[in-house]
Each structure stands twice: as structure tokens, then as C-alpha cells.
Amino acid sequence: MAQSKVLSPRSNQGRRFCRKNCDQLLLARAWRCSRLQPDQVNGRTRLMVVLFAVALTWSTAVAYSQESELTGRGRPLAIIEPGTQVGNQKSRRWNRTILLARPRIASGDTDAISSSIKNSVAKFTLSILATVNLQQAAPEDGAVNSGPARGKYILSEIGVGYVAEVGAKSIVISSDAASKLGLKLSFVESRMLAENEKQIEQLRSLVHTTTLAIFDAPAIMVRDQRHQEMTVRHLIWIDPDSGRTATLVWLLRQLGTGINIVETEPLQLIAEATYEDRAIHVDGNEFFLGVPSKRAFALEKLTPGQPIPWTDELRASAGATTYDVVRLRTLINAISAAMNSRS
């Protein structure tokens, strides 16, 4: 029986192969786990994850071959410091832009809101940033010194904040520090920003390793012309060779029992530094004396990207309330199968 030949993505032949077959070699094979098992080191659960790298259709590679500690359960997401400039890859912190989502009043009872509220909604852009660091590789014992060892990029942290245009720069701001940063806010704008900040302060990590992070964000979505409370799950990962990131997002609905039921809409695969024109639906019944309730505004849809179809296996693992080693392995394998089903 003929055996398939594994091509290195770094070789000329491998690059040609990936360019030709990128639609069939997406995240699935990039996340093919040849080994993913728990190991007890100093009392902590650790992962041994070996992943095979190929190029995605938008030229982001996903790969890993390193021991990764499973951390971050229940840890708050970092709040990005006011004054941080977005898009500065030379910065020590927050040097990768994951997503910038600027809301826009688009549908529903748009006449129910004042122009001041409408302008305030669009003034602040939700930002998800990451800190990516290059971890220098230690030389192997007995190896001949042939120059510096090639390091690996690691996903050190994920943070959230709100961004506004200050001069010609996109700067992270806060309701307390806006004036110091040169941004004058009206009463309505300041109040809306403060309420938004309360929401992101509640975000918690489900799991974090050196190559990926998973967290949930509460969201109001419009479905059948009704505003409904749901959850958007984010899975962010990094290519350790290039330092580029990518993200998967999908919708969950939480029942009273705490069980998460995955919505029927497909997952969305999002490239690094995606800018989203976030369309907002307005429910005029959720206003009292002109003041909106928390359910007055709803997202029309998930952040658009490349749709990934659901499978039974993926549906069973994508709604887990926690992730240990086994559940994370199951999720990764299910994502691989779902990606392969596209071809």
C-alpha cells in the first residue's frame, strides 16, 4: 500500500502543495493531534500537544510542538491599559490585534433612539488584543553551536478594551482616563462607555495554554425579531513559527441547568486583525423615558469569517462549561473533523 508523504510547509515543495490545496488543508490538519495527553509535573496538569502545520487560505499557519500548561480557568481577562495604541507589533504588550468591532445602528426601531445615543453607540470600538512573545529555544545537550536556536512564539495573554480615535491614532480609552488622553466625552458617551466597561470586566477565561485561549462573552442577539441572551465563545490560537493568530467564534445558549446548547449557525473562522462593521438591531420596547435597557441593542449576527459546518461530535464538545485535557483534546479533534468535512 502506498504511503502518503508528509511535506514540510517550509520547503518549496510544501509551500506549492499548500497553495494548491489550501481549501482542503485548513485548520483540521493544522490541528491534527498526534499526541495530547495529561502529564503530572509538580502537581499541575500539563498538555503534550504536537500539531502539524499548514497554511490557511488567508496565509495564517497554525502549528505547535511544545508542552503547554493548561491554565487560566476562571481567571478574568486582562483589561487593556488606557493609552495603549492598537496595531503596534513592536510593543512589549498588546502587540497583536485579534478583533476590532465597531457597532453601527442598522435595523429595528432606529427612530426610537436619539441622535446622541446613536452617535455614542458608534463612537467606541470593542478591541480584543493579545500579547505574543518570542520564547528562545534552549540548545540541545551536546549539539554543535551553529548559531542561535530558533525560538517559538507563545500566546502570553488576551485582553479586552474599548478604542477610540484620538488624533490620527486608535487608542484604548476608559471613562476615567478619556480626558487625560485628549478625548472629550459627552455625558451620554461617558455613561455608555462606563456601562460597557462593566461588561468586559466580567469576562473570564475558560482555558489558556501557550498556543490557545478560550473565553466566553455574553451577547444579546436578535433572532425572530426578538432580543435574546446568548454567549459568544472565542477560541484564539497562534502559529508558533510566525507569531500570527486566528480565531474561531460560535454561539451558545445557556439553559437554567447550566448546560450550553450550541446554536444552529455555523462557526466563523476569523483572520488576525479583523475589523468588523458590527450591525446592531434596536428594540423600541426596551426603552423607558428614552433610556435603553440592557436588551435594547442586539447583534444581528456573529463576526463574519469563513463558515465552518457543525458536526455531531463538534456540537457535543463545543458547549462544554469547562475544559480539562480530555475535553480540550476532544474539541480539537472535532474541529479537525468539521474542517475536513468542508472539502
Q: Report pLDDT for 41.
A: 30
Determine the pLDDT at residue 200: 97
Residues 170-205: tens digit of each pLDDT = 999 999 999 999 999 999 999 999 999 999 999 999
**pLDDT at residue 149, as a whole number:** 57
For residue 25, what is its C-alpha cell? 488543508
pLDDT averaged over every residue in the chain: 81
Euclidean distance between CA atoms 242 and 240, whole angstroms? 6
pTM: 0.80
Chain position carrying cell 446592531: 280
Q: Is residue 48 part of a domain?
A: yes
Q: Tell me the CA end-to-end span of the chain in Å, nearest whole number.
A: 24
pLDDT tens digit sequence for 20-63? 333 333 333 333 322 233 333 333 333 322 222 222 322 233 33
Alpha-carbon span 299 to 103, nearest angstrom: 9
CA-closest candidate to residue 18, choices 64, 56, 52: 56
Total Cβ atoms within 10 A of residue 44: 10
- For residue 214, give Cα distances in angstroms to 31, 100, 101: 15, 18, 18
- 7 in a structural domain: no
Secondary structure class of 276 (helix, strand, coil): strand
The verdict on residue 3 lying in a domain is no
pLDDT higher than 80, residue 277:
yes
296 DSSP 8-state letter: S
In sequence order, the 6+-apart residues with CB closer than 8 A to the CB of 116 are 186, 188
Single-letter code of the amino acid located at 97: T
pLDDT digits (tens, 9 = 90+) for 138-169: 666 555 555 555 799 999 999 999 999 999 99
Looking at residue 47, what is its pLDDT? 31
- CA neighbor of 173 nearest in space, from 185, 186, 188: 185
Domain-embedded: residue 15: no
HSE, CB side, 13 Å, CA atoms: give it for residue 152: 17
The reply to whether 34 falls in a domain is yes
The number of folded domains in the chain is 1
Interacting residues of 285 by C-beta distance below 8 A, sequence separation 6+: 109
**Residue 331 resides in a domain:** yes
Tell me whether residue 207 is in a domain.
yes
Please give the biggest Cα pair distance in the chain.
76
Inter-residue contact 252 to 263 (CB < 8 Å) = yes
Could you say which DSSP state residue 204 is in? B
Least confident of 127-141, 190-204, 229-243, 296-310: 127-141
Q: Which domain holds residue 304?
A: 24-139+146-340
What is the per-residue pLDDT across 99-114, written as a single tens digit (0 to 9) for each? 999 999 999 999 999 9
- The DSSP code for 265 is S
Average pLDDT over residues 332-342: 85
User: Would 13 be classed as within a structural domain?
Assistant: no
Predicted local distance difference test score (pLDDT) of residue 101: 98
